[in-house]
Amino acid sequence: MKKKVAFYTLGCKLNFSETSTIARDFQEEGFDRVDFSEHADMYVINTCSVTENADKRFKSIVKQAQKVNPDAFVAAIGCYAQLKPEELASVHGVDLVLGATEKFKITDYINDLSKNDFGEVHSCEIVEADFYVGSYAIGDRTRAFLKVQDGCDYKCTYCTIPLARGISRSDTLQNVLKNAKEIAAQDIKEIVLTGVNIGDYGKGEFGNKKHEHTFYDLVEALDAIEGIHRLRISSIEPNLLKNKTIDFVAKSNSFVPHFHIPLQSGSDEILKLMRRRYLSGLYVDRVTRIKEVMPHACVGVDVIVGFPGETDELFLETYHFLNTLDISYLHVFTYSERDNTVAAEMNGVVSKNVRSKRSKMLRGLSAKKRRAFYESQLGTTRTVLFEGENKEGYIHGFTENYVKVKSPWNPELVNQLKQVTLTTIDEDGLVRFDFVSEKIEA
């Protein structure tokens, strides 16, 4: 009987791409991959430590696995496993904890899958995380997440990612293109480029500072690959998103008009405290340029509320900044103190209930912005990529510029690209449409 392994991924698209690669390693070792809700001999949890909530969720996921099979071997990998290995190892039921470099060798650390009395830890000093492991996620979605870069050299005062993932380093252009071709050969219609700081692409495999290729070179080379219908840039720092790249995307064959650009604060005072590498004026320039060359582009924004020193006035500065900016939605993060960060020692701590109120205000603004963006797209003709899940009798999909649509469930549409005209916004906020020149009723 083949052994069974199940995976649970917390956090970012980068984690999903790495989980998928690790899962393929298990399959090569003779394991069958099953869903996390199913009975498995081994459960692997890929952890995240960007927010407090991700830390807290870990224990409940371990319990979930133990409920299905109390005798299963449980391994923790990923960012939280690198930052706090002993803490994870002490959670009841955890047998193995692997840090940043060890996670890609997980199959070397498992023997007969017998339970340990205490979690066994293998984690390196983060300075040893200086080599690059390429990965991509397929099989679970209509799109693939393709990792092109790892680690970060920035020293933002709130962030633990450099401690969890190490220095900025990149895949070779040759290997990225090879992986992209492999994905395209499997009839996956969309590739999302992921990394910790993908605009920094080009720093060598071992983190050396010489850029053999730039992010622009990467974009240009990927656009030339046959068989890739859509390429999406997941998230890129505003100071690394150059006009040249924006202009290229505007004329590109495959890159879609969707940018996700972290802002974190609309107050220059707070941006300086965060040690971000730009001020609000540069952010305005980026959004303005995108909208000049692609008026229909979708622009998403990351923002943090409740950072130390964020007074009511400075928060309102961020609110008004975002309110006047031509953006499409927000990802709102409530600041949470992380060990070993500069921000955790700062004065001007914002109370939890004020953080929560500010978060609510920005989430409300995000809903308003998304609605306005969707309304601006009604009457336009777009291409939708349909997803594979039946959601209460409906199929969902996304246009190239990230408008989420819905239609009565039709399995024939799964993983298909169809031209549609966007017509109305439903009560749940999703968009209805008519198919263009096809006899399918929406």
Over the stretch 306-363, which tens digit does the pLDDT of each residue have?
999 999 999 999 999 999 999 999 999 999 998 889 999 999 999 999 999 999 999 9
Reported as a single tens digit per residue, the pLDDT across 229-287 is 999 998 999 999 999 999 999 999 999 999 999 999 999 999 999 999 999 999 999 99
- Residue 220 above 60 pLDDT? yes
The answer to whether 348 and 301 have CB atoms below 8 angstroms apart is no
Average pLDDT over residues 157-169: 88
Strand partners, 391: 394
Interior CA angle at 160 toward 155 and 166, to 5°? 75
Reported as a single tens digit per residue, the pLDDT across 386-411 is 998 889 999 999 999 999 999 999 99
Pair of tokens at residue 217: 């070179």
Q: Select the more confidently predicted residue: 295 or 114.
A: 295
The SS3 assignment for 281 reads helix
Strands 136-137 and 143-147, how do they pair? antiparallel
pLDDT of 161? 84
- Residue 442 above 50 pLDDT? no
Reported as a single tens digit per residue, the pLDDT across 93-141 is 999 999 887 888 898 888 667 767 667 887 656 555 556 667 777 755 6
Strands 96-98 and 73-78, how do they pair? parallel
Look at the block and give the residue holding tokens 């007969």: 112
Mean pLDDT of the chain: 90
**pTM of the full structure:** 0.84
Q: List, in order of start, the domains of the chain with CATH numbers.
A: 2-125 (3.40.50.2300), 129-255 (3.30.750.210), 257-374 (3.30.750.200), 377-433 (2.40.50)
* Residue 365 CB coordination number (10 Å): 19
**Residue 176 and residue 198: Cα distance in Å, rounded?**
13
pLDDT of 49? 77
What are the Cα distances from residue 344, in Å, to 273, 397, 420? 12, 40, 49
**Residue 299 and residue 315: Cα distance in Å, rounded?**
21
**Residue 436 and residue 420: Cα distance in Å, rounded?**
5
**Residue 80 and residue 58: Cα distance in Å, rounded?**
9
Q: What whole-number percentage of the chain has pLDDT above 70? A: 92
The answer to whether 232 and 192 have CB atoms below 8 angstroms apart is yes
